[in-house]
Structures are given as structure tokens and as C-alpha cells.
Amino acid sequence: MRIACCLNSDATEWRDALRAALPGASVETWARDASPSEYAIVWRPPQEFFDTQPRLKAIFNAGAGVDALLNLRLPDGVPLVRLEDAGMAEQMADYVVHAVLRHVREFDVYESQARGGVWKPRAPRRKADFPIGVLGFGVLGEYVARSLQTMGFPVHAWTRTPKDAIGLRVFTGDAGLEDFLAATRVLVCLLPLTGETRGIVNRRTLALLRPEAYIVNVARGGHVVESDLIEALKEGRLAGAALDVFEQEPLPSGHPLWDQPGIAVTPHISAATLREESVEQIARKILAMERGDPISGVVDLRRGY
Ligand code: NAP
Ligand code: GLV
């Protein structure tokens, strides 16, 4: 079995880890003149990679989101498999819990007070006054929603298809979106970026949130209409936002989000791909495919995630 690694960084480390996990396989980093492979491990590959791979049985994306890959011409009929958690859910929960607590407990205010030598306690705030709405209740969204719930926050979620979730209200589809937003003061985005979800956080949806809402975007920059977010902040309709992802990455210098008061910027680090966990998951799925067993995490190309 031949496996090609085509990743934009650390490809040799992935090759070595896959060789260790699948001793019977021939694993190589991709080269233009290499023999075709049965399995591909990719992160942001060039189109040329797929154009030179006529024998693929499966493509494994070294990340959860496949939006960038779906802009390429993929070989017909070859399953595209994404990472499922592989150590990302816990990182994502850490990030979101931190962002939410920083806002609710006003640690951002205390940080700036401390820089000015100001000792000034503020009135306590109740978690009950900060209902959290999580857009997306998939592998990462559910873990994050449950973590926030464990912290004592009221939490609800929004999905495309109806879900039964114990102790948590799940709103569904276009029909459920307005009620979901009206119940939300802290909005966490954990949707995949698709034709349906692009620009979902916009002037109209921001206006439907509870007053002084706070946004946490850890999914894709394309979910948020950045100019609408800045406008809502300037008009005082939003309390702030923690943004890990942006329409253009790296966020260009001079971009208004860099120095917008109330905005916390991080460089797409909320949940990094962990090589060890990812290779273990991918190797397990390759072995299952070789046995003819079904695997999970196969992307539905029509719905885009
Ligand atoms: P997932 O398991 O596929 O979950 C996606 C969720 O979004 C599902 O609940 C799905 O609803 C819902 N959804 C999709 N389209 C929808 C629509 N049109 N309307 C309403 N709900 C919709 O994905 P995941 O593993 O949790 O990952 C989510 C995203 O996180 C990834 O796609 C990626 O973009 C992002 N991510 C970011 C980072 C980072 O470092 N910033 C790291 C990892 C992942 P159903 O349940 O009804 O299908
Ligand atoms: C990272 O952004 C991912 O989709 O895994």
C-alpha cells in the first residue's frame, strides 16, 4: 500500500509517524514524479497533487474543516475523510471557555485597569445573564457546548438537522435561527464553512442577538461579515468579540480588527492539528478500509461538510 503525504508543513514528520503506525505501508512525502498512491494525507495541497494521483482510494484531510479542499477539483468517487476531534475538541473547549470567562468576568477590563495602576472592583455578574448559543453541534460544537454547560452557563445550540440532546435545547435550520439568536447573548461559531453558512454572522443576525452580545468565532473567517461586526461594535450594539479566524489570514497589518476596542485577535490557534492523535486516527481508518470495514468522518460533498 502506498501513502502520499502532501502537507504544507511538517510533511516529513507526518511521513515518519505514518511509517511507524503502518509498518507494512510505503509512505512518502509527495514529489511530482512519484508513483501514484492509494491513500493521500493532505493539508492545503496544490491542485497538481490530485491531478497526478489517479489511483486514490481515499483522501485524508489533516484538519476538521474541508472548505479549502472543496475549492479544488477532487478525483471523482474518492472519499474525502476529515479529522474527527483527534485532540481538537479539548483545545477548542479551553479556548472558548477562556474567551467567555474573560468577557463575563471582565478580565479584559481588569488587565487594562492594572496597566494604569487602578485598583477598582466591579459589580459581580451572573452566568445566568449570559446565555450562550453555539452555532453547530457537531464533534467540536457539542464538546464545547457541554464544557460551557459544566461551567454553569445556560447553553443552547443550532444545527441543520434536528437533534435530541439531554438538558440542552437545539434549534434547527432557518426556521429555528431567529429564536436561537433571540435567546443568545454570547454567540460561539463552530460551523463548517459552506455555501449555506458563509456570512451567517452579519448585520441582520447580529441585530437579533440579546443586547451587549459577545461573539466568539473559532470556525472560519468567512462566517463573519467583518465590516458588519465592526459597525455593530462602533454603534455599541455588541460588547466585543474573540476572533481566531479571519476572511484573510494572516490578518493583514493595518486591518481595522487589529486595534478595534473590544476585539481579541488570535492567529488561528484555537484547535491545532495534533500529529500523534491524527496519525493514530488516520492509520486506524486506513486499516479499516483495507479490511473493507466502514469508516466515519467521510465528508458529504453535496452538503459541504
Ligand atoms: P462537524 O462535526 O461536521 O459539525 C458541524 C455542525 O455544524 C453540525 O452540528 C451541523 O449540523 C452544523 N451545520 C452545518 N451546516 C449547517 C447549516 N447550514 N445550518 C445549521 N447547522 C449547520 O464539524 P466539527 O468537527 O465540529 O468542526 C466544525 C468546524 O470547526 C470545522 O468545519 C472547521 O471549519 C472549524 N475548526 C476550526 C479550527 C480552528 O483552529 N479555528 C479547528 C478545527 C475546526 P448537523 O448536526 O445537523 O449536521
Ligand atoms: C483547522 O482549522 C481545522 O479545520 O482543523
pLDDT surpasses 90 at 278? yes
Band the pLDDT of 92: cuts 50, 70, 90: very high
Mean pLDDT throughout 49-68?
A: 97
Measured CA to CA, the distance from residue 230 to residue 247 in angstroms comes to 14
pLDDT value of position 115 = 97
Phi, psi of 290 (to 5 degrees): -65, -30
Mean pLDDT throughout 5-32?
A: 95
Cα distance between the two ends of the chain: 27
- Give catalytic status of residue 220 as yes or no: yes
Distance 65 CA to ligand 2 centre (A): 5
Residues 188/213, Cβ–Cβ less than 8 Å: no
Measured CA to CA, the distance from residue 194 to residue 95 in angstroms comes to 23
Distance 244 CA to ligand 2 centre (A): 11
Mutate to test the pocket of ligand 2, among 9, 60, 66, 88 (most ligand atoms within 8 A of CB): 88
pLDDT value of position 230 = 97
pLDDT value of position 12 = 95
pLDDT value of position 6 = 96
Catalytic residue from among 2, 169, 198, 268: 268
Cell of 86: 483527534
Distance 224 CA to ligand 2 centre (A): 16
Residue 60 pairs in a beta bridge with 41, 81
% of the chain with per-residue pLDDT over 90 = 98
Helices (H), the chain: 11-21, 47-51, 88-104, 107-115, 139-150, 173-182, 203-208, 226-234, 275-291
pLDDT value of position 34 = 87
Catalytic residue from among 146, 220, 223, 275: 220
pLDDT in tens, 231-269: 999 999 999 999 999 999 999 999 999 999 999 999 999
Ligand lying nearest the CA atom of residue 89: 1
pLDDT in tens, 181-228: 999 999 999 999 999 999 999 999 999 999 999 999 999 999 999 999
Asked if the peptide bond before residue 46 counts as cis, ω within 30 degrees of 0, the response is no
